[in-house]
Amino acid sequence: MAISNIAGGFSKIWHKGGEPHAMVSLLTVGINSLQRFLPVYLEYELDDFFKSLGLCLAEAKRWRRGETRTCVSAGPTDRANRTASPISRIARAEKTSPPV
């Protein structure tokens, strides 16, 4: 359940152009659920994972407060501000390039 909450939180970056409130809520629930497994769970050390999650949660809270436009460069539904990924640039180049 905890991992599904964390994954769901990250999916909110792209859902409907970004949902910072849902992201913060799901990440918080997931992190709190995983706290009982520290420092090791099934032979996996969780310290670095929790540090990274904490940074992500802090950035999501900044996004929710309006201090930053989004947690990532842009979600796929944010067409006006989207930065083309290398994969989309390659696909676009393949469509416009003459056959060899």
Q: What is the 3-state secondary structure (H, E, C) of 11-38?
A: HCCCHHHCCHHHHHHHHHHHHHHHHHHC
Give residue 72's Cα distance to chain centre.
7
pTM exceeding 0.75: no
> Which helix H or strand E contains 91, and what residues bound it?
helix 86-96
Output DSSP code: residue 8: H
- Is the pLDDT confidence value at 14 over 70? yes
**Has residue 13 got a pLDDT over 50?**
yes
pLDDT of 60-83, one tens digit each?
999 899 888 765 544 444 444 444
Residue 56 contacts residue 5 (beta carbons within 8 Å) = no
pLDDT digits (tens, 9 = 90+) for 16-60: 778 889 999 999 999 999 888 777 777 788 888 889 999 999 999
pLDDT of residue 29: 94
What pLDDT is recorded for position 61? 92
